[in-house]
Structure 1
Amino acid sequence: MKKKVLFIIGTLQSGGVSKSMVNLLNAWDREKYNTSLLLCSKEGDVFSKYLPEDVNVIYSPVVENVMGGFSSAKWLFLHGYLLLSIGVLLRLILSRVSKSLSGELIAKMMPIVSNEHYDLVVDYGGQQLLYYMVNKLSATRKVSFFHNDYSKWSYYYSADKKYYPRLDNIFSISKTCTDALKKYFPNCAEKVSIMENISSPSMIQAQAEDYTDDLRVMLQEYKNDGNNIFCTVAHFCQRKGGDFAIEAAEILKKQHIKFKWLFVGKVLEQDLFNSIKEKGLVEDMIFVGIQSNPYPYMKLSDIYIQPSRFEGKSISLDEAKILCKPIVVTNFSTVGDQFENGKNGTICEMSGKAVANAVIELINNPSLQDSYRMYLGTHIVDNSSEVNKLYKYL
């Protein structure tokens, strides 16, 4: 009989973790292993259409609403889950005091959705999903992923330190990220290892050609009007440097540089978005929303910009590299895991002024753009073999 494997993820909304999960499942040997995915929330689902058809998706609306807010508490109450409804309200209050205790409470409230015994369960989201996996699911081996630099995201430390020792392995996505985990959890250091986000060059390059005539015409009109085309794939918020982007755009406009800056993702902080209107940048900063296929926007742009404050190992940046785009990226803690300044991209300091100066340098130096494209074109890596690191637990 085939061995049974269960993956767990919170959501398949837009974002690097969701995209990475889908890429992993597409690379996974599903003929050899009976593969299931526990999807905790269908809200804003973007990537499920890219899931392989032979992956068994497990979903419970009770699980989704246990993880939600006031509207979820109402849904639980109306469907007869009075105690869970009260629990959600308590958890919303508790989250203001302790994210760890809040996460543990969510895990306790989540119902057991499968009584199967699995050969391997893989928590791909961490926090409450980790605690739920350890406490409520039966498996021979259990592993977890943490997709960021723990030193920048240690809110769940008091809970994680109780659960990480109970795992067979803890994966993160870069050396900087694994070093941080080893520092915070020295008793688990031997269990911590790297498994990179999986990016398939052939799939990305093929999807990048799948652009609509409307998009092509729009960008051609921008070009004909003398605009430089920039692209950023990320939710618009301070964590992803939305304020740096606004400051940079304001500087570029004052220096009479014509541009259209495309933002692919969700606006998470309305106050930032409002400041774009206040500064008269509405026609320059173009928000196209969440796109299940962002690659045409990336491919048709002149420069890819990632002005983030924090990243684990950005899958969007790996994809921009595969598409051989000249890249400007801020000097967040893990940037050295993906870039060498002046070799495969421009690393600048964390400010709008620095982002603007780096963009201006690239615009005025076509030979530097060409050198980035040539280097990236000869260093494209298909890392689908990263899945082998999970096979050893089966």
Structure 2
Amino acid sequence: MTICSKDGSTSQLTSPFRDEQLSSSSLCSSPDDNSYDDDIKLDEAEAWHLKLAAATTWPGMVLAICPYLDRFFLASAGNAFYVCGFPNDRPDKMKRFAVGRTRFMITSLRTYLTRIVVGDCRDGVLFYSYHEDVKKLHQVYCDPAQRLVADCFLMDANSVAVSDRKGSIAILSCKDHSDFEYSNPESNLNLNCAYYMGEVAMAIKKGGNIYKLPADDVLRSYGLSKSTEAADDTIIAGTLLGSIFVFAPISREEYELLEAVQAKLVVHPLTAPVLGNDHKEFRGRESPSQATKILDGDMLAQFLELTNRQQESVLSTPQPSPSSLKASSKQCPSPPLMLHQVVQLLERVHYALH
């Protein structure tokens, strides 16, 4: 741990490393810091140095660290993670308040308000809550599948987005939002949706992309208005191969419409995979067959590159076999797809994300 402290030595102020020093705009200090007097106004143009205030050795490899609430931070060491802080705001007196352990090495730590999510290299993501009064960590939910976590973040207190080192990304959430029973920590999370990218995303972040365009006014007349409440749930993922994936939330009506279009695109000769690969099998790898699949934006974007006649040809393609459709889709036949409705929806999403 380091703090910024003022050094008045002339020899250090003329040091050749002066260009690498922090300016006073980055100043951070403790109320108990006696290096200056409250009556003396600091010179904003004067350089400051970083000085080691405290150091500690962790019993394992430290792969994750993050702030927690306003007065703690979390740090992992091997298969253990600690709730740490500085009593009385003294940076030279770090204290470990609680410890939690997983079965395997921890690779990721994230927080949302009081909720903590831990990702390890086999058991996936685990939800914890910290009880400050008794200084104990309680596991409240766990991943329903084994997962080698690359990165994760909490979308809210009950939902987590996680990428693994096999090239998949998934959204998991609690079964309900009721009070947790700490006597049963093996309450599995629900798999909401999944997508196989084919590339390992080592960093995923929460975005805030609201793709509302003038076309929304037209779409609203078809009953396809998007709820802006979910717009902050956009996910941005960066992969080891240099790709950037953007996952944007859409309404249920929009999903059902684009799902029907995608089902036609993957079998039409103009847009089907060149080598004849099974698109559904590829994007559904590493996830249960019954899990909801995230739609493939690259596949859907091809529709906008076709001529008007080719677009009509795609939409007139017969529906895939019933075995590839959901049970809910079997019960009620979907209405015919309208070309202008599909184009306007795809343009809204596509151009807003580029």
TM-score normalised by the chain length of structure 1 = 0.22
Rg larger for: 2
- The structure with the largest helix share of the pair is 1
- The structure with the largest strand share of the pair is 2
TM-score normalised by the chain length of structure 2 = 0.24
